[in-house]
Each structure stands twice: as C-alpha cells, then as structure tokens.
C-alpha cells in the first residue's frame, strides 16, 4: 500500500515509547526506546522516529507506514479525562447503565464500591420510543420530544452524546433518526450510536460500550488531529494505522469514529508477536506470558492462532468488542511479600508499583518485593539494572527481607527470598495451568513464551512447575509488543445480533444479513485504501443451545449452508463443554464479519551477534541451597553455536533471564533464545 | 517437618485444585442454572472432612459442604469402607444438607494406602421433582412435597455406577437429562480434584499432605482468633424479622442473635429464634451456620484464607425445632430467606462490637419470581428472575444502589434477552428513588421492575420477603423502604401476595416489583450538604 521502504511500529507505554524499525532494503529490524511524553504522546513518538532515523540511517521520507499502538484511550478512561457526556436511551430505562449486571466481585467486602458509572443519573435522558425484539416499533420515536432534549443537552453542556435504545441491534431506525436530527440541530456535537459501535444484544454491555465510545471521541480526535498536524514535517508522511483491541490495526478515520476499539489494545502487540513467533519458530502451540511490575498476563496461541473473545472490560466497565483473550493475575516484579498474623507468607496481589517500587530502587519502598528477592539471591546485578541506568540498593533490600519475611518466619535472608520466589512462581504456574485447563488443553503440549521486563527470571521455574519442557525468550522482550505490531494487518469487525433458530426457515434472513455484512466489510476496507486482492472477509456466528445464556463463536467460511455450521457448533461445544446434543434446538445470536486488509510483510534478516565475548563472567548466586559462582552470558553477543547450561544467567540491557539447573539454552530462529529441559 | 514456604505452596495448590474442579463443572455441566447462575461450589477437605480450600461464589455455600461431609462421616457412611473409587452423594437437609436442589458429591483421595483428603462438589440442580417445576414450592408444608430426597449413598462403588440409583433418580425428576448430565459433571470434577491432590502427594507424601492440612487449618484458626481478639468482649443482642412463611400470613418469624465475644472466641446463641414454621421458610444447621460464619468473617479486620480452621473459634447454639434448626419433616427449600435474615441479625449484633466496620441492613432477600407463559399454540416458556435491592450504608460510605449483597450473589437477565425469547415485555426497569434509608450515610437504592404479559395465558409464582419488616438503619440512620408487588390489570392496581404459587395472569397484565433499598447509617442531620445536594440532583431521594 506504500512503496516507501521503511515501516515503523510504535508502542507508547507509561514510561517509554518503544519503536521497532523494519527497513525492507536490507531486511534489518531494529529497536529504539525514548521517554514517553504524557502531556502529548505524539511529541515523544516523533522524537523517537527522528532519533531512530539518525541512528539507523534512514530518511524520514523513506517511512511509508507508521503502525501506532497507543494507550491514549485507555489512560483517558482510567484517569477519567473524558468528555462531558449525555446518554439518550429508551424512556423508562435510564438506570440500566447504573444498575449494571450487579454481581459483586468480593464476597466478604461489607463496604463495596459501586461499579463505575461514567454518566450520572441527571445526565441520562429518556427518549419516548420503543422497539420490540423482532424489530418492529411498539412506540414510534416521538420527534416532538426533540426540542426538549436539545434544551437539556445545552443546559448540561454536553460535549458528546451516546445513544443506546432497546433492541437497536435489530432495527437501528430510531437511533439513526435521532442522530440525523441531532446532526441537523447541533452539527458539531459528536454522537455515538450503539447500533454503530456494538450492534449486539444485551443492553447494559452495549450501553457501556457506547458511552465509553462517545466520551472518548473528542479526546482521541484531538490527539489524532495533533498527530496528523505534525505529519509532513521533514518529509515524514507515512500512512498511519492504530492498533486495536482485536489484534489488528485500523485507519485514523475509524479510530476517530470508534475510539472504544483502541481501549484494550495493550495486549494486542504481545499477542501479535506471539502469533508471529509461533510461525517463525514453527511452534503452533504457545502459551505467552508477559510479566511486568504489577501484573502477569497469560494468552494462548493454539494451532498458530491467538484466541480472541467478543468482550473485555476496563476498570470494571464492559467493552463489548472483540479483543485478544487474556488472563491477568496481580503478580509482578513489584508484588509485595508479607506474613499475616497466622504466620502465612503471601506474595501479591498488593504491589509497590513503580513508585515507590521495590526496596532496591531506593525510592522509599520499605516492603520487600519479588524484584528484591531476585536481587537478594544474586539473580539481578545491582550494577547492571536497565543496562546500568539504575543502581540497586542491596543492603536495604536484604534488610527489608530479613525484617518483613525472614524474622516472622524464622528464616535467614536467602531462604526467605527463595521462599518468596517459590510462592510467586507457584501462583504464576497456577494461572498458566488454568488458562490452558479451561480450554481443555494440556500444558505438556505447549511451549512457554516469556516476555515483559520481569518474565525472564521466572519462566523456567514456572515451566518446570507445569511440566512444560521448552521456554522461548524472544529478542528484546521489553519491546516485544512493538515487534508484534510491526507485522499487523488491518482488521475490522462488524457484527449484527438477531436471535434466530438455526433452521432452514431462517436461512434467507441469515443469507441477507451475511450479504449486508460482507458489503459493509468490503466497503470499509476499500475506504481505507486496501486493494481488492489484499482483502479477506470471513464470517462467524455466535451460537448456543436454546436456553443457554452465552454463546460460542463459530467460524462459518462458506456462509451459505447451515449444515456445516451446525456440525462445527456441535463439535466445538463438545470440545469445550464435553457434550453436544444434535437433537437440541440451536440458535444464532450474532453474525460477525471479520474483514482483513493484508499489509505486505517484508522479510527480516537474521541478526549478527555483537563482536565481543558472549561469556561476560560470573557472579555469586544463591542456588539450590548455597551460594555458587554462576556464569553470566551477554545475549547480544551470543553466537548460534554456543550452548548455555543451567544454572546460568543471560543478560541484556532491559531484561535478565534465569536458566535453571537441568535446562540448556541455545539461539533459535529470529534471534529467540530457546531453553529446553534436559529431563 | 514442612517449612512455611512449602505450606504456602501446598495451600495454593489446594486452592488451584478446587479451581480446576470448578472449571470442570463449568465446562461440562448441562443446565443453565449451574453455568449461568454459577450456583455451584467445589472444595478440598482434609482426611477428616475439614474444608481446606474452596472455590465458591455464593456465601450460602461457604462451610456448608464441610458440615455435610462431617455429618456423613460421623453418622451415615463408615469411613473404613469408603474406598478410593466410591462416590457418595446426598441432598438431604436432615443428613447435613441445606435443601433438596443442592446435591453434594464426595470422594476420598488415597496415597500410599492412606486417606489423605476428600474432594467434594455441590451443584444446585434445576429440578429434583416435588410439587412444582424447579422444586421451589412456596406452599409446601412438609419436605416430601419438595422433591426427591437422596439419603447418603454410594452412587459409584468400586468405580462401578450403581445403576439402580441412577434409574431411581431419573424416574422422579422433571428434567432427567439435565440433572444427570450435571451430576456426571460433578463426578468428573471429583476425579480432576483427586488427580491434582495425588500429583501433590507424590511430592510431599501422605504424611506431608496430612501435616500440611493440619497446619493450614491451624494458621487460619490463629489468624481468626487474633482478629476476634481485637474485638471488644461482651454480649451483643439483635433481633430482625421475616414477614411470614407464606402459610400463616401476618405471623412474623423472629431471628434473634445473642452473640458473645470472649477473648479469642465467639459464641452465637440462636435460642431466641422462632419455632420452625409450616411453610418452607425453615433452615437446617448447614444453612444457619453458613450465615453465622459469613457474618463473623465479614467483621474481621484482616483478610485470611477461608477454611475450616476459621470455624473453630465460633460456636453456634441452636436448639432443634427452631426456624434455624428445623426438625424433620419441615419443608426447607426457602432456607435462603432464613439465612438472609439471620445475617441481618448477626450484623446488627456485630455492629455493637465493631461499630466502625458493620453496615446497616441490606435488602436481605432473594426476590424470586417465575413467569410461565403459555402461547396460542400451547408453547411454554419459563422465565425465572431473581431480583435484588440496595446495600446498607456503611459507617464510612453510602450504600450501593442495586448490588447483589449478603447470602446470595447473582446477576440480572438482560431485558433484550428476555424479550427475544419469551412473550414478555419489560416495561420499566430502574432505581427506586427514596428507597434507601436516610442517615449521615444513605442506604443504597432498591429497584423497580415491571413485566407485561404478551401471551394469552401466564402463571406467576413468587417467593419474596421484606414487605412488612424493613431493612433497619444503624446508629440513628433510618430504615429502607419495604417492597411492593402490584398487579396492574385493565387500568386498576391491586397488591399481589409476595409468596404465591401459580397465579393466573392474562395478556396485557403488568406485574410491578419494587425492592427494598439498604438501611441508613448515622444521624441524618449530620449528612453533609454536598451529599444532600447530590442526592437531590440525581433524584436518589424522593420528591
């Protein structure tokens, strides 16, 4: 889609903006990092691009494609820096947004907090109208109510309007008419219709998604306007795409209209990378774990595909849009260890975060964390943390572990620190096991893909715990998301809910819906400049047995005949839930089109090792009950023929990896370090 | 001798085993009640039947399985003949269970020839026979009307299914494929749990597993005792009321708690509760204990691992023949109502001990109602709704509007889903202004929900409470509103009895339910001006 040779992927995190630069002229893939500029992330982004251009020797005008991962929407929600919005909804149902689904998350909590509600009660306005489930109008939209609504909108100072009417997923006519009337009366007011952003059955989830979308529209638009305003400077005029929650990218236009699609995009980069690595290493079954400071994210690549679900949530607010499936537990480098009154040692979910952070950071942290335990045992080098950018405070770390864990348990510092790691690794292992177990999968059929700043020190122990025999440490584990984004495609999801029996009588209606979805999907790709030969549209259906309250997502490639669809549904149901009943009535709930615009994938060249000794030296590490000299390897200088025998440490500027006793590691394709159990 | 690290790793592994069992039930069960209402629990016990780890989302299940298993071992099943391939099931409230729809299944786990543990699964089944579909008869007056009673028996013996029992169950229930399918999934989950424990035992040995279990219980007991020790000694009394049992109308049921904290233990005397009643608003000890334990654990100031060790410092005194310890053959299916109100009463007593920690009364009630529509073509659809209300105001914050609280925990059903599947229309659904108790902290609001019948005929069944006795306020806070259930027909409104079976409705009828909010906390005069202004702006208060 662009014949300029350089493609850049950018992942903007809280602290750093990570870049990966692929130059098709020599196949080089290189990483760069620059501090994030939170007040306007586009400043840091452009600075990073300019720095990378200078460092790696390309011209700004050579950049044809900028693939942009951003937390701008996510942060706006978490920090509540959102537009002042109003919700228009069917009269009599204004409180659906506040009632939520009303299940509590913490059983014993007697002072629960309400679920967040982004539009309060006085800003939720009822519209006289009512659709039925079959799409007919029981009460037509009362247009005479419009002047009153407009007066309220003005009085409330509305900066954005969300519209969610009952059953609009079947018949959006009332929502569309409202939008037209609003556009005529208040042309500058952003309006988001539930039937456009998430036309799916279940009013609370659809309302929540629409409200998030509406309140984000002005925020994200302002950012994209700033970014676009800067394009063209110094000849830097690439096509720009944004990373969505579904593991694909979208155009600026789409992102401005449907910013809720960016909300859960954080895991997309990692999952894309996992998918890419699964392909490059010919390992179709990977369980990918991303361990950072506060959380541990587990996702599964099965048969080469990253699993996607149709709903996620942010800050306890549901987002009914496709996203990469992920299990998250509160365990990371910053997880705090403590001993309770009964003498029980727990690690996490409380976290020291990055401020004050672990005791070792010397920023005022007093409670020992997982990172502190790694330092105390010698697995981390106090003088080579973040490539030597930060010195770690060993005496304070040992004192905190002795005081807060060792003394109450009657243990010396080393066994106390070892105990902290044992406990946290058991927790991580349980999360991985459950992620696979709930899909009916066996850990022994999987390789563990470890990334994130803190992952490398725990992966081998977690794998050993699970009976996983191979661990893959990809190159640059700290910027892996950006690497994944580099190989993304345009993906547009379109959905229509219509509860129908999966019977021949429904087929004409289904076929008509599919045709509508295809046409819309194709037009969407065309609008984003995808040439016809690079467009792919696949159809899937959310299906269930009559009486069930949740659906299975069933692919339907042919999308013309019911028999193969039903057969696939029964088979999936059997695999996932251990039974199927072909005599039972099956329903279709939602039809989906997944439109993919394939972006060209230039080949990357293999990396050459740095010309310096791979074996850096050794250091004292507490391992298997005693202090020992353990070799320390320099990942960047490692040649393909070297074998690393555990126990050993492998260091690179932003990560340290622990190769345990009984494991051997070597370089594999794409610069990945592959460790295998000798057992 | 195991160190503290091994103990914590084993504790986590036991919790993970319960979680794997949980996933197994979720993955393999048939009925929607299990998978969507998540009305099931899985647990791991020590070799004596003490709960070590549990996966439960519903407080009424806490402790109840351990109680059941201990009863079985003490009275009904000879442990010496309970082999590794024997699965024992029962649902009998008079053998240690809660009510007939809850079938529990247990299996021992052996290693090196020694029993090292039990695993157990509880499922709420969709129907176990009896007077009405769903086995929730509001008008039953003895347990025989409530469905099939399964005494403790070996459903599987030496790995072989007891086919006679399977056939017997099949013959006595309305949806045999669903029930037996769910029962299969319970059995599958027992095997998953047993395998996880055997895996663990190969690392730590039978002796290690037994030692770990003992120490895990001791640690929780110690933490619980420390927490109780931080509460002031004294005897604290409180009374709350259920409206009636649905049979003897206008005869309230008294739930009286006399709670004594002495040092590091608590004794809860329920002797002042009403005698058992004719209708199904009775509970057996398994249910009442769950409410007592849940209340005490909520009142503790430090979170700790919930297991049978926590139960040791707490004694319940409940003479037989009371509504909290019903004698055979009293009906008990609506035992949840007793536990809701008992929890309300426990909180009222605990408030006097730890006034900064305990909220005013929540709505205290599962608003269960069922619509069975009958179409022109005689096609039937059944909608079971369980509504909720507002939570009680807490000393430090307002109550929450419309949140599942107390002994149950369930979600609503989407309006669009209901209307897409049954000839019913929801004509209103919203918060109920003014339903929260006044106070320095306001109680959360209850709900209003209104259904319209669109089919020629429909039968309506309800089992609800708090229509007379409102959720109380504390420390000078006001009570919440009471509930209302109204039938609107041909332009006229009339009250519907909140405990009723099979009321015939016709096309166009509307049924409106108004649920209670939560009680208020503290003197209303002290409520700050900004909070008052906000209540008015958002229409949380009436007028």
- Tens digit of each residue's pLDDT (9 = 90 or more) over B103-144: 999 999 999 999 999 999 999 998 899 988 788 888 899 999
What digits encode the pLDDT tens for the residues A90-121? 999 999 999 999 999 888 899 999 999 999 99
Using CB atoms, pick whichever of B294, B302, B430 lies closest to residue A94.
Answer: B430
Q: What is the CA radius of gyration of chain A?
A: 26
What are the C-alpha distances in Å from B418 to residues A271, B31, B424, B457, B458?
36, 18, 7, 17, 15
* Burial of residue B252 (number of CB atoms within 10 Å: 0-12, 13-18, 19+): middle
Tell me the count of A-B CB pairs closer than 8 A: 200
CB B72 within 8 A of CB B106: yes
Residue B274 lies in a domain: no
Residue A451 backbone dihedrals phi, psi, to 5 degrees: -150, -170
Which of A171, A341, A429, A588 should one mutate to test binding to chain B, selecting the residue with the greatest count of B CBs within 10 A? A341
CA atoms of B22 and B43, how far apart (whole Å)? 9
Residue contact B416–A201, C-beta within 8 A:
yes
Structure tokens that stand for A582 in this block: 């072909």
Residue contact A438–B26, C-beta within 8 A:
yes
Question: Is the confidence at residue B57, as pLDDT, over 90?
Answer: no
Res A578: pLDDT: 67
CA atoms of A390 and B195, how far apart (whole Å)? 46
What digits encode the pLDDT tens for the residues B513-525? 999 999 999 999 9
Res A547: pLDDT: 73
Residue contact A122–B9, C-beta within 8 A:
no
Element (H, E) at B102: strand B102-111
A138 vs B contacts (CB less than 8 Å): 425
* pLDDT-above-90 percentage for chain B: 82
A91 vs B contacts (CB less than 8 Å): none
> What number of residues does chain A have?
679
Domain ranges of chain A: 6-77+222-262, 82-215, 267-482+623-679, 490-597
CATH number, domain A267-482+623-679, options 2.60.120, 3.30.420, 1.25.10, 3.30.2310:
3.30.420
Residue B526 lies in a domain: yes
Using CB atoms, pick whichever of A111, A340, A437 lies closest to residue B223.
Answer: A340
CA atoms of A73 and A212, how far apart (whole Å)? 9
Question: Is the confidence at residue A36, as pLDDT, over 60?
Answer: yes
Omega before residue B382 within 30° of 0, cis: no
Residue B313 lies in a domain: no
Residue contact B430–A344, C-beta within 8 A:
no
- Residues 6 or more apart whose CB falls under 8 angstroms from that of B153 comprise B88, B89, B90, B162, B165
CA atoms of A619 and A628, how far apart (whole Å)? 8
CB A241 within 8 A of CB A66: yes
Res B543: pLDDT: 66
CA atoms of B376 and B404, how far apart (whole Å)? 37
* pLDDT-above-90 percentage for chain A: 68
- Residues 6 or more apart whose CB falls under 8 angstroms from that of A451 comprise A270, A273, A288, A289, A290, A291, A473, A474, A477, A478, A480
Q: Given the cut 0.90, state whether the ipTM is greater than it.
A: yes
Structure tokens that stand for A194 in this block: 């539930």
CA atoms of B449 and B486, how far apart (whole Å)? 11
Single out the residue in B223, B238, B272 at which a domain terminates.
B223
- Residues 6 or more apart whose CB falls under 8 angstroms from that of A587 comprise A499, A500, A501, A502, A543, A544, A545, A546
pLDDT band per the 50, 70, 90 thresholds, residue A507: very high
Residue B228 lies in a domain: no
The answer, for A550 touching chain B at a CB cutoff of 8 Å, is yes
Neighbours of A662 (CB within 10 A): 14
CA atoms of B104 and B152, how far apart (whole Å)? 9
CB B141 within 8 A of CB B246: no
**Minimum CA–CA partner of A419 in chain B:** B5
CA B271 to chain centre: 22
Q: How many domains does chain B have?
A: 2
Res A226: pLDDT: 93
CATH node for A6-77+222-262: 3.30.420.40
What digits encode the pLDDT tens for the residues A352-397? 877 788 999 998 999 999 999 999 999 999 988 877 778 999 999 9
| b/e code B419-441 from CB counts within 10 Å (16+ = b) | bbbbbbbbbebbbbbbbbbbbbb
What are the C-alpha distances in Å from B321 to residues B92, B271, B316, B327, B328?
17, 10, 15, 5, 9
Single out the residue in B223, B243, B274 at which a domain terminates.
B223
A 404-433 → B contacts, CB under 8 A: 409, 411, 415, 418-419, 422-423, 426-427, 430, 433
Which of A92, A110, A203, A311 should one mutate to test binding to chain B, selecting the residue with the greatest count of B CBs within 10 A? A110
Averaged pLDDT of chain A: 92
Residue contact A340–B410, C-beta within 8 A:
no
Omega before residue A356 within 30° of 0, cis: yes
Mean pLDDT for B206-223 is 95
Residue B249 lies in a domain: no
Question: Is the confidence at residue B12, as pLDDT, over 60?
Answer: yes
CB A591 within 8 A of CB A495: yes
Question: Is the confidence at residue B283, as pLDDT, over 60?
Answer: yes
* Burial of residue A617 (number of CB atoms within 10 Å: 0-12, 13-18, 19+): exposed
pLDDT greater at residue A371 or residue B57: A371
How many Å lie between the alpha carbon of A205 and the closest alpha carbon of chain B?
9
3-state secondary structure A525-536: HHHCCCCHHHEE
Omega before residue B251 within 30° of 0, cis: no
Query: CATH topology of A6-77+222-262 equal to that of A267-482+623-679?
Result: yes
Neighbours of A104 (CB within 10 A): 19
B57 vs A contacts (CB less than 8 Å): 107
The CB-based long-range contact list for A357-362 (8 Å cut-off, 24+ gap) reads A357/A293, A358/A333, A358/A334, A358/A397, A359/A393, A359/A396, A359/A397, A359/A400, A360/A385, A360/A392, A360/A393, A360/A394, A360/A396, A360/A397, A361/A390, A361/A392, A361/A393, A362/A391, A362/A392, A362/A393, A362/A396
A 195-234 → B contacts, CB under 8 A: 201-205
Tokens 């040092």: give the residue: B263
- Residues 6 or more apart whose CB falls under 8 angstroms from that of B52 comprise B11, B14, B43, B44, B45, B46, B117, B213, B216, B217, B307, B308
Mean pLDDT for B211-228 is 94
A103 vs B contacts (CB less than 8 Å): 404, 409-411
Res B2: pLDDT: 86
Note down the domain range covering B513. 359-543
Q: How many CA atoms lie within 13 A of B78 on its CB side?
A: 2
CB B280 within 8 A of CB B262: no
- Give CA angle at A450 (A446, A451), nearest 5°: 150
**A281-285, B52-56, B239-243, B354-358: which range is least confident on average?**
B52-56
Single out the residue in B223, B254, B279 at which a domain terminates.
B223
**Minimum CA–CA partner of B182 in chain A:** A579
Res A2: pLDDT: 64
* Burial of residue B448 (number of CB atoms within 10 Å: 0-12, 13-18, 19+): buried
Mean pLDDT for B449-472 is 96
Q: Among A59, A38, A120, which residue's Cα sits nearest to residue A87?
A: A120
Structure tokens that stand for B393 in this block: 């105001």
Neighbours of A675 (CB within 10 A): 27
Helix-strand-coil percent breakdown of chain A, rounded to 5?
A: 35, 30, 35
Residue B542 lies in a domain: yes
Residue B327 lies in a domain: no
CA atoms of A144 and A590, how far apart (whole Å)? 34
Q: Where are the alpha helices (DSSP H) in A377-479?
A: 394-401, 407-409, 413-437, 459-466
The answer, for A576 touching chain B at a CB cutoff of 8 Å, is yes
What digits encode the pLDDT tens for the residues B417-427? 999 989 999 99
A 136-155 → B contacts, CB under 8 A: 138
Is domain A490-597 annotated with CATH 1.10.3470? Answer: no
Residue contact A343–B298, C-beta within 8 A:
no
Strand-pair partners of A588: A500, A543
CA atoms of A151 and A158, how far apart (whole Å)? 11
Mean pLDDT for A505-526 is 93
Concatenate the DSSP letters of all residues of A125-154 into one string: EEES-EE-TTS-EEE---GGGHHHHHHHHH
Using CB atoms, pick whichever of B23, B394, B538 lies closest to residue A120.
Answer: B538
Res A117: pLDDT: 97
Res B35: pLDDT: 63
Q: Give the global pTM.
A: 0.92
Residue contact B35–A438, C-beta within 8 A:
no
């Amino acid at each position: 889609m662009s014949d300029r040779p350089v493609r850049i992927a950018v992942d903007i995190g809280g602290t750093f903006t990570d870049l990966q630069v692929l130059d098709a002229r020599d196949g080089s893939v290189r990483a760069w990092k620059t501090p994030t500029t939170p007040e306007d992330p586009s400043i840091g982004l452009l600075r990073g691009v300019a720095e990378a251009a200078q460092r790696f020797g390309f011209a700004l005008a050579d950049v044809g494609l900028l693939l942009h991962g951003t937390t701008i929407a996510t942060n706006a929600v978490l920090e509540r820096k959102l537009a002042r919005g109003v919700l228009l909804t069917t009269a009599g149902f204004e409180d659906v947004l506040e009632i939520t689904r009303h299940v509590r998350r913490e059983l014993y909590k007697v002072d629960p907090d309400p679920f967040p509600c982004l539009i309060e009660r006085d800003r939720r306005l009822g519209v006289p109208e009512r659709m039925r489930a079959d799409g007919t109008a029981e009460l037509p939209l009362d247009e005479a109510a419009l002047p009153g609504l407009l007066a309220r909108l003005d009085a409330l100072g509305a900066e954005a309007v969300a519209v969610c009417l009952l059953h609009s997923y079947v018949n959006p006519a009332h929502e569309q008419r409202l939008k037209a009337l609003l556009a005529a009366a208040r042309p500058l007011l952003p309006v988001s219709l539930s039937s456009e952003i998430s036309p799916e059955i279940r009013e609370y989830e659809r309302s929540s998604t629409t409200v998030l979308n509406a309140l984000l529209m002005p925020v994200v638009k302002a950012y994209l306007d700033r970014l676009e305003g800067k394009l063209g400077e110094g000849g830097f005029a690439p096509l720009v795409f944004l990373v969505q929650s579904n593991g694909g990218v979208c155009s600026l236009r789409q992102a401005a209209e449907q910013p809720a699609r960016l909300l859960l995009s954080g895991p997309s980069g990692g999952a894309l990378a996992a998918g890419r690595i699964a392909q490059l290493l010919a390992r179709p079954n990977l369980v990918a774990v991303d361990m950072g400071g506060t959380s541990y994210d587990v996702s599964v690549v099965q048969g080469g595909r990253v699993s996607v679900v149709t709903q996620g949530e942010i800050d306890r607010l549901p987002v009914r849009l496709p996203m990469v499936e992920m299990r998250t537990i509160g365990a990371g480098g910053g997880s705090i260890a403590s001993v309770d009154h009964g003498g029980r040692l727990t690690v996490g979910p409380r976290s020291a975060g990055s401020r004050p952070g672990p005791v070792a950071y010397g920023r005022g942290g007093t409670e020992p964390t997982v990172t502190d335990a790694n330092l105390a045992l010698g697995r981390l080098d106090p003088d080579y943390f973040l490539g030597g950018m930060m010195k770690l405070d060993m005496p304070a770390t040992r004192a905190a572990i002795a005081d807060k864990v060792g003394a109450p348990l009657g243990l010396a510092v080393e066994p106390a620190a070892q105990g902290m790691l044992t406990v946290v690794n058991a927790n991580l292992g349980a999360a991985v096991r459950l992620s696979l177990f709930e899909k009916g999968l066996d850990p022994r059929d999987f390789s563990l893909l470890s990334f994130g700043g803190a992952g490398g020190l725990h992966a081998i122990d977690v794998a050993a715990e699970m009976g996983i025999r191979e661990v893959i440490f990809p190159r640059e584990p700290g910027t892996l998301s950006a690497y994944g984004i580099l190989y993304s495609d345009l993906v547009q999801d379109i959905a229509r809910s219509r509860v129908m029996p999966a019977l021949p009588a429904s087929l004409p209606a289904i076929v008509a819906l599919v045709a509508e979805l295809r046409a819309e999907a194709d037009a969407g790709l065309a609008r984003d400049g995808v040439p016809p030969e690079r467009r792919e549209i696949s159809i899937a259906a959310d299906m269930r047995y009559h009486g069930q309250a949740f659906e299975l997502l069933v692919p339907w490639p042919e999308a013309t005949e019911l028999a193969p669809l039903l057969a696939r549904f029964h088979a999936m149901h059997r695999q996932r839930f251990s039974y199927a009943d072909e005599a039972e009535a099956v329903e279709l709930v939602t039809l989906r089109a997944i439109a993919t615009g394939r972006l060209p994938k230039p080949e990357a060249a293999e990396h050459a090792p740095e010309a310096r000794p791979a074996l850096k030296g050794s250091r004292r590490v507490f391992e298997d009950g005693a202090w020992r000299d353990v070799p320390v390897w320099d990942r960047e200088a490692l040649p393909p023929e070297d074998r690393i025998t555990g126990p050993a440490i492998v260091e690179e500027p932003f990560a340290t990896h622990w190769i345990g006793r009984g494991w051997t590691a070597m370089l594999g394709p794409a610069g990945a370090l592959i460790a295998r159990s000798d057992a | 001798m195991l160190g503290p690290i091994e103990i914590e790793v084993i504790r986590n592994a036991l919790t993970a085993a319960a979680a794997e069992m949980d996933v197994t039930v979720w993955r393999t069960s048939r009925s929607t009640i299990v998978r969507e209402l998540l009305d099931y629990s899985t647990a791991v016990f020590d070799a004596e039947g003490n709960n070590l780890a549990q996966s439960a989302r519903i407080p009424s299940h806490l402790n109840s399985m351990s109680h059941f298993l201990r009863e079985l071992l003490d009275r009904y099943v000879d442990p010496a003949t309970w082999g590794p391939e024997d699965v024992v099931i029962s649902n009998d409230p008079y053998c240690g269970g809660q009510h007939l729809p809850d079938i529990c299944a247990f299996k021992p786990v052996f290693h090196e020839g020694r029993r090292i543990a039990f695993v157990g699964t509880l499922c709420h089944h969709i129907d176990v026979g009896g007077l009405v579909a769903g086995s929730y008869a509001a008008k039953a007056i003895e347990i025989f009307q409530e469905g099939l009673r399964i005494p403790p028996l070996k459903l599987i013996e030496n790995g072989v299914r007891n086919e006679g029992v399977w056939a017997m169950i099949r013959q006595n229930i309305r949806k045999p494929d669903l029930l037996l399918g769910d029962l299969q999934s319970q059995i599958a989950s027992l095997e998953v749990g047993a395998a996880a424990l055997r895996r663990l035992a190969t690392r730590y040995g039978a002796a290690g597993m037994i030692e770990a279990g003992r120490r895990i219980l001791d640690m929780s007991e110690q933490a619980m005792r420390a927490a109780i020790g931080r509460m002031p000694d004294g005897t604290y009394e409180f009374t709350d009321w259920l409206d009636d049992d649905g049979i003897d109308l206008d005869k309230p049921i008294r739930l009286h708690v006399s709670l004594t904290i002495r040092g590091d233990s608590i004794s809860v005397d329920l002797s002042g509760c009403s005698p058992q009643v004719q209708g199904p608003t009775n509970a057996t000890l398994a249910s009442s204990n769950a409410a007592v334990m849940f209340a005490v654990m909520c009142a503790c100031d430090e979170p700790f691992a919930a297991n049978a060790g926590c139960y040791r410092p707490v004694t319940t005194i409940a003479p037989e023949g009371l509504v909290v310890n019903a004698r055979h053959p009293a009906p008990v299916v609506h035992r949840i109502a007793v536990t809701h109100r008992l929890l309300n009463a426990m909180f009222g007593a605990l408030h006097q001990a730890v006034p900064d920690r305990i909220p005013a009364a929540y709505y205290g009630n599962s608003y269960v109602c069922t619509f069975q529509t009958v179409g022109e073509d005689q096609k039937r659809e059944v909608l079971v709704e369980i509504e909720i209300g507002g939570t009680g105001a807490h000393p430090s914050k307002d109550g929450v509007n419309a949140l599942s609280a107390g002994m149950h925990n369930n979600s609503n059903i989407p309006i669009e889903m209901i209307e897409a599947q049954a000839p019913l229309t929801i004509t209103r659904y919203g918060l109920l202004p003014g339903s929260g108790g006044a106070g320095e902290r306001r109680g959360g609001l209850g709900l209003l929900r209104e259904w319209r019948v669109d089919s020629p005929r429909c039968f309506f069944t309800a089992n609800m409470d708090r229509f007379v006795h409102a959720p109380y306020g504390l420390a000078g806070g006001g009570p919440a509103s009471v509930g209302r259930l109204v039938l609107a027909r041909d332009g006229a409104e009339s009250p519907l009895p909140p405990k009723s079976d099979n009321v015939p409705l016709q096309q166009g009828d509307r049924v409106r339910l108004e649920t209670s909010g939560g009680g208020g906390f503290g003197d209303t005069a002290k409520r700050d001006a900004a909070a008052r202004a906000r209540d008015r702006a958002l229409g949380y208060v009436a007028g």
